[in-house]
Structure 1
Amino acid sequence: MSAPATVSAPPTTAPASTPRRRRIGVWIAIGVVLLVVGAGGAALQAASQWAQREALDPESAGPAGTRALAEILRDQGVEVVVARDRAAATRALTRGPATLVLPDTPALSDDGLEALIDQATDVVLIDPRARTLDLVLPGATMAGAAPDAVVLPDCDSGDAERSGGIAPGALFSPGADTSACYPVDGGFGLLVTADGERRAAAVDGTVLFTNEHLADDGNAALAVNLMGRHPLVVWYQPGLGDTDLADTDPTLGELTPPWVSPVIVLLLVAGVAAGIWRGRRFGPLVAEHLPVTVRASETSEGRARLYAQSRDVVHAADQLRIGALQRLALLLGLGAGASAAEIADAAAARAGMDRGRVRALLIDEIPARDAELVDLAQRLRLLEDTVHTRVRPERNP
């Protein structure tokens, strides 16, 4: 009868895939971080672009936008065209009688602004500044701001009378042949001038026509009365690059060659890749056993032999004195800031020796030969023994 065969199980080993999984996890984490940073940058860029477009923008539904007014005009049968550059605005104005709604345009020259205004039948300034006031309504100027209170029209303008009271915001001083409504402290909240079939008006739309305030008082009625006289409203909302000023300072992007930005991006990517490739990978701590242990006496003897070979008697004497001064200072209870002279005087007083001789021994004497160095070492040792005997007599036989 044969004995049953036994099969031995192979020895178990630690899984070799753990380091690989760890490396894969690191790369996944790096990818997630890059995606999060990219998404955050895109969100910030979109937010900044939205903030730039929001103020008085007829396509913005934010508090400072004017989308509600644009929708009201469309409900009244008025076509609203949003033009974000002068070319689009000029094309829209050539279609027939139209009202040009004009915010502040600091990027346009006087000639460019006048050429745009000449194409329109009516012009409504919704964010007037001193320059645009003088161009559109000659002689008109800024006159401060009104308190937050409702003011009645008090003028012969039918549009203002039908609208009722408003809280005007900015105030203006009229020029010649200009109708002024909503008087407050010598200024007016609405200026209107007519030249035949053409009409120009100035009003602070930033506090009257925005989505946040359009439903207050007579704001919506005034906006529709001023802008809805013609079947077409061209709302000019200029972008940052829409300018005809020839003497504008170039931006940093315009000054740099076109290849600079791709090179910078490439260098950043290369730097990140090099950091990942050559970066220190911290693993578990490893105990390192030193091969030998060197005693302090051997170190001192080796240093002494180096001094002897170099024939540097003065350096050796200085090292002997420094050691003696440190031990004497500790023995005499002096602080770390005590000078060599103070230590020498204290040692002389405690040992009952001449202060000049002790100072010469610890500071002044300069040995010239090896024999003098040996004598100096012996006298330093004798001084230390004497001070030690005087300080701690009970520890001496």
Structure 2
Amino acid sequence: MTTLVPDYVASTVEAPDRKTRIRSLVGWAVVVALVVGGAFLAIRVATTAPSWHDALDPEGVGDTGSMALAEILRRQGVEVEVHRSRIDAAAAVDDDTTLVMANPVTLTDDGVEELISSAERVVFLSAGTHLLSLLDMGDSAAGAGSAVSARCDVPEFAQVGTIRPDRMFAPADGVQGCFRDSEGDGATVLIDDSDGVRRTVVDGARLFSNARLAEDGNAALGLALLGQTSKVVWYVPSYEDTDIEAESPETLGTLTPDWLTPAILLLLLTGLAAGLWRGRRFGPLVAESLPVTVRASETMHGRARLTARAGDAAHAAEALRDGSRRRLAKRLGLAVTATADEIADAAADRLRIPRGSLQNLLAGDLPRDDTSLILYARQLAELEASVDNSRALPDTPGGHS
């Protein structure tokens, strides 16, 4: 006996299958749209020119840049040349030139000495303990913040007035110290006139920034230091212009056959596809309230007060470094469990500098005093900014961008 199924019953049975297919097609369409959109954004970012305007950059218009000081020098008739290549900067130096730069932490000792060897007048706008030792000009000293005057016989400082420095130095034997504190132990400016060459060191990160240049005698001090010659060659150090060489250690990729990596990737993609095809669909997450809720800001402020009360610079530096490593790992696409060496190597690859260049910064010894802690924090910030900016560099076959 044959039973006839009415049309409306058949359509009711087929309706759920049709809805399921439609939802599946819509889901795949959304996935394809997201992939295409992500690729488009990646191409746009890769073809966008970066802006290398960090602290003490004579072309930087932000609060930490030094464009205002460069423009004042130009209005005073001083020719200001900005170079981001140490080779070009050394070639631009002549007899009536002042070579200016921030602490060149991206250069080796030989690179620094080679760069400044051709200049008869060199001004370092910031300095670390290592640079002071290399120049044999002194060491860091305690005391900063109060207004100081020249208190030395350098003629160009006679009309500067008072300044409020962030950092003081203890001059070495034979090195003249100006703008000393009330006790006379520390000096803001160190001047070494040995062998007919004048080398000057000052911590100008705050003094010569766009935001602070108009305060006190900061602008007058900048003119006194940089305006004594008709030409200023301003070199901007960066990780893209480093001369640090490091040997890349053997990796798993160099020790395995070329076909192994594609095979592993194919297996992973196959497993992912199988999981999406046959995997179980979990239900919504169940929210469960905790017994006690503590605001993250309270924990952060509490730890900060404990660290400041203890005066533990190493502990604070470790916290800064840990935060930088976490942020760098995220920006470089690494796992949260990535080691410091892995992050340093990935950052070196991103910046196109030899591997091993950043191990000391991300995994080396920690600073032990507040002055070194401030410099260390600036170096970490500059590294993060360089990694962020490098994401916008287009790849150029056979060379750097």
Q: What range is the shorter-chain TM-score in?
A: 0.5 to 0.7
- Seen in structure 2, the aligned counterparts of structure 1 residues 271 and 146 have a Cα distance that, compared at 3 Å, is same
Structure 2 CA distance for partners of 1:90 and 1:18, relative to 1, 3 Å: farther
- Unaligned stretches of 5+ residues in structure 2: 1-6, 282-401
Deviation sequence 1:347-368 (CA, Å, 0-9, x none): xxxxxxxxxxxxxxxxxxxxxx
1:173 correspondence with 2:174? no
Give the SS at the match of 1:80: strand
Cα deviation, 1:274-310, whole Å, max 9, x if unaligned, reads: 6357623779xxxxxxxxxxxxxxxxxxxxxxxxxxx
Identity of aligned residues (%): 31
Q: CA deviation at 1:219?
A: 1.0
**1:100 aligns to what?**
99
Name the larger-Rg structure: 1
Alignment partner, residue 75 of structure 1: 75
Contact 2:90/2:116 (CA < 8 Å) preserved in 1? no
- Once the two structures are superposed, the pairs formed by residues 172-251 of structure 1 within 5 Å of their partners are 172-184=169-181, 185=183, 186-194=185-193, 198-246=197-245, 248=246, 250=248
Structure with bigger RCO (C-alpha 8 Å, 6+ apart): 2
Output the TM-score relative to the length of structure 1.
0.54
- The change in CA–CA distance for 1:201 and 1:37 in structure 2 (over 3 A counts) is same
CA offsets, 1:101-124, max 9 Å, x none?
Answer: 122223433332222112223111
Residue of structure 2 equivalent to 1:130: 129
| Structure 1 residue 191, shift from structure 2 partner | 1.7
Q: CA deviation at 1:189?
A: 0.7
Provide the rounded CA distance (Å) in 2 between the counterparts of 1:56 and 1:108: 17
How far the C-alpha of 1:66 sits from its partner, in A, is 2.3
- 1:114–1:278 Cα change, 3 Å: closer
Give the counterpart of 2:141 among 127, 141, 144. Answer: 144
Structure 2 length-normalised TM: 0.54
1:112–1:244 contact (8 Å) kept in structure 2: yes
Contact 1:142-1:171 at 8 Å conserved across structures: no
Q: Secondary structure at the match of 1:206?
A: coil
Q: 1:163 aligns with which of 160, 185, 188?
A: 160
Q: Is there any run of 5+ residues in structure 1 with no aligned partner, and where?
A: 1-9, 284-397
RMSD between aligned residues: 4.5
What is the total number of aligned residue pairs between the two structures? 269
| CA deviation string 1:318-371 (max 9, x = no partner) | xxxxxxxxxxxxxxxxxxxxxxxxxxxxxxxxxxxxxxxxxxxxxxxxxxxxxx
Corresponding residue of 1:373 = none
CA 1:127 to 1:266, structure 2 compared with 1: closer, same or farther past 3 Å? farther
* Cα distance in 2 between the residues matched to 1:251 and 1:76: 52
Deviation string, structure 1 residues 52-90 (Cα, Å, up to 9, x no partner): 962323333333332332333333343333322322222
Mapped partners of 1:161, 1:260: distance in 2 = 70
| One-letter identity of the residue aligned with 1:70 | A
Kept after mapping to 2: 8 A contact 1:62/1:211: yes
Aligned to 2:91: 91
Q: Which residue of 2 aligns with 1:332?
A: none
